[in-house]
Amino acid sequence: MQHTSLIVSVSAALQFLSAQYGQARAGTFDLVRDGQPACGIVLAENPTPAARLAALELQYHVWKISGAELPIRSETERVEGRRILVGESAATRGFNLRGRDFKPQEYLIALRPDTIILIGRDWEDTPANRQVEGRPMVGETLEGLRHKLDFWKTVGCPERSTAVIELPGLYDDQGTCLATYDFLERFVGVRWYGPAPLHVVIPARATLSVTGADVRRSPALKHRSAVPAGNWPFLRGQWGQFSRDQVHLYWRRMRQGGERWAGNHTFHRATIKAAFSDPEYQSKNPRSQGSQLCYTHPKLVNQVAQMARDFFDGKGGLPEGWKAAGDYFAIVPDDNMNLCQCTTCAALLQKGRTRKTGFFSSGEMSDYWFSFVNAVAREVGKTHPDKFIATLAYWAYALPPDFDLEPNVSVAPCLHTCYYPVHAAMKENDLTFYHAWQQKTRAPVFLWVYYHHPMEPALIDRWKCFPHVMVHDTARSMRMFIRDGVRGIFECGEQDQLEQYVMAKVWDDPEVNVDGLMDEFFRLYFGAAGDAMKTFYLRLEEIACDPANYPTPYLRSSGIDWKKAAWERLGTAERMEKLGVLMAQATQRAGTETERQRVALWRTALWEWMRQGRDQSAAPKSIAPAPPTSNP
Ligand SMILES: [Zn+2]
């Protein structure tokens, strides 16, 4: 495991790259010399989907950097001179390196004389592997996440288009991609700040040489589900033009995916209708209307346990809308309190009466729900002790129950991370049950983290929120979760472009220097406008994360009046005036056409949104008009 900070090694690589080149130096590897290819890429005769994508990514980025096209050769062809071995092949076996010898997600970047090796464990395209069923978080199948795209068209070079390829599935092993993306970032200086070519920073070099020590590691967080589609206004606006194919490629570049896991609602009207129609265990509550079951009924426990066993045995048959993947079979009830009122259920629910917290995350149905989870887990544990029943710790069952959990119950607390900088009481309530779960469970812990407020209520009620930039707080929380041993995180909602990027980097390596990442982003992405954009962005964060800006009655015990706080407390006339000056400076300073386009996207996504939000609000208007920006 290499612990060198990414930033240190990248800047070392860049320093080296910017030096003048003579003949090849000892310990360096020339990929390109004076715009001419100086090596070839070698793939297995039948490469894995990960190796095939990795080779194309390597070829594309080197070509964009230098204009040189490195040939991609099969192991069966003769390759003269220097080689980059991408994925397992006869040549890597010559170095005693096989994909299957790597742990899941572990990968190697190795520099040898005349050879670079980029390898890890990859999912192999076999009929048996194709048959494995799984329905991760949002109901799509493992197979559905093996997105197909035309690579060259996706990266903006349709004239080079050859064929449609299948990407490695989001939750398929793709160690060779992890190695190649890390190589392109760490040794070559490429940065992916978004899905489209406009968002990618690619250095320009006629001669491309790399040097450095081997890297053998794996991402710190094992399940990484921050897969924003650009559906929310800030990210959509900051990204501007992008395609769905580009987003799928971007998730791979950001190394999302990883270990298979699922934890989301599984019992709801559709799945109950499809798989749980037995009248014996229907909820004895007329208001349930087919959305809840009698969760103390032994027949239900046995049926769900059998369904889990069948899933783990590869027998298939999960109803649409169910969630289960890898070693995890999820059971989570529907989102309402119309629970069964039979004598046994009512008695367990009665025990929860005293467990309300006053917050959204509470415990009044914890004993009830986790009795069912335990009962199913006990049954499944008899036959499949190494598999897990996954569930959420959420809403009225966020708190742990009064009793012990079966060892094969894997819990994902749902945490309101977007409130942490400004709502101390909610954070304390969250972290109290988060730590209690850490104590209570013996199985891996996952998290569902909310980044839905204030944007979600703003979208629902059609007003414009103040940008809730909280990148340092987010990095702090994620670092704590990873150090606590959390195995995977699902992000609910979307942050802005930079926060999304930083979070993914902390998930990969919690020791990463966050300020360094941010400085680098503003410098590389906005160039001459970088300083003004950075000051603008950090000022948004400072305002959004200052608890003093949310006094009572804006702050309520159970939440925040985001709508009133936005333009009465956060985007005040005085602050808007200063922020407007910074945005005007950035607009004016942007030098290149690329910088101008990037600044314009941020100006529209953040600044114009804010101006409109303030104009549409009832907040007192500015006395002096905001300074003009040079908007087209
Ligand atoms: Zn009941």
Predicted confidence (pLDDT) per residue in 447-467, tens digit: 999 999 999 999 999 999 999
**CA of 353 relative to ligand 1 center, distance in Å:** 17
Average pLDDT over residues 617-632: 57
Query: pLDDT for 456-498, tens place per residue?
Result: 999 999 999 999 999 999 999 999 999 999 999 999 999 999 9
Please state, in angstroms and rounded to a whole number, the distance separating the CA atoms of residues 48 and 266.
33
Please state, in angstroms and rounded to a whole number, the distance separating the CA atoms of residues 121 and 174.
6
Share of the chain above pLDDT 70, in %: 94
Task: Answer yes or no: is pLDDT of 396 > 80.
Answer: yes
Query: pLDDT for 73-84, tens place per residue?
Result: 999 998 778 999
**CA of 281 relative to ligand 1 center, distance in Å:** 7
**CA of 138 relative to ligand 1 center, distance in Å:** 28
Task: Answer yes or no: is pLDDT of 173 > 80.
Answer: yes
**CA of 379 relative to ligand 1 center, distance in Å:** 19
> Residue 79 burial (CB < 10 Å; 0-12/13-18/19+)?
middle
**CA of 297 relative to ligand 1 center, distance in Å:** 6
Confidence of residue 12 (pLDDT cuts 50, 70, 90): very low
Please provide the average confidence, as pLDDT, over all residues in the chain. Answer: 93
**CA of 464 relative to ligand 1 center, distance in Å:** 44
**CA of 368 relative to ligand 1 center, distance in Å:** 10
Helix (H, G, I), strand (E, B) or coil at 329: strand
Task: Answer yes or no: is pLDDT of 42 > 80.
Answer: yes
**CA of 389 relative to ligand 1 center, distance in Å:** 21
The half-sphere exposure of 409 on its side-chain side, counting CA atoms within 13 A, is 28
**CA of 298 relative to ligand 1 center, distance in Å:** 10
**CA of 278 relative to ligand 1 center, distance in Å:** 13
**CA of 31 relative to ligand 1 center, distance in Å:** 67
Cβ count near 68 (within 10 Å): 21
Average pLDDT over residues 372-391: 98
Q: Count Cβ neighbours within 10 Å for each residue of 256-266 and write b for 16 or more, e otherwise.
A: bbbbbbbbbbb
**CA of 339 relative to ligand 1 center, distance in Å:** 8
Share of the chain above pLDDT 90, in %: 91
**CA of 12 relative to ligand 1 center, distance in Å:** 64
**CA of 340 relative to ligand 1 center, distance in Å:** 5
**CA of 294 relative to ligand 1 center, distance in Å:** 4
**CA of 170 relative to ligand 1 center, distance in Å:** 39
**CA of 376 relative to ligand 1 center, distance in Å:** 15
Q: What pLDDT does 2 receive?
A: 38
Q: What pLDDT does 622 receive?
A: 57
Average pLDDT over residues 284-304: 96
Please state, in angstroms and rounded to a whole number, the distance separating the CA atoms of residues 38 and 433.
57
Would the CA dihedral through 310, 316, 319, 323 be positive or negative?
positive
- Tell me the H-state helices in 260-360: 269-275, 298-312, 343-351
**CA of 446 relative to ligand 1 center, distance in Å:** 29
Angle between helix axes 244-253 and 175-186 (nearest 10 degrees) is 80
**CA of 284 relative to ligand 1 center, distance in Å:** 6
The closest of 464, 469, 472 to 544, measured between CA atoms, is 469
Please state, in angstroms and rounded to a whole number, the distance separating the CA atoms of residues 257 and 261.
10
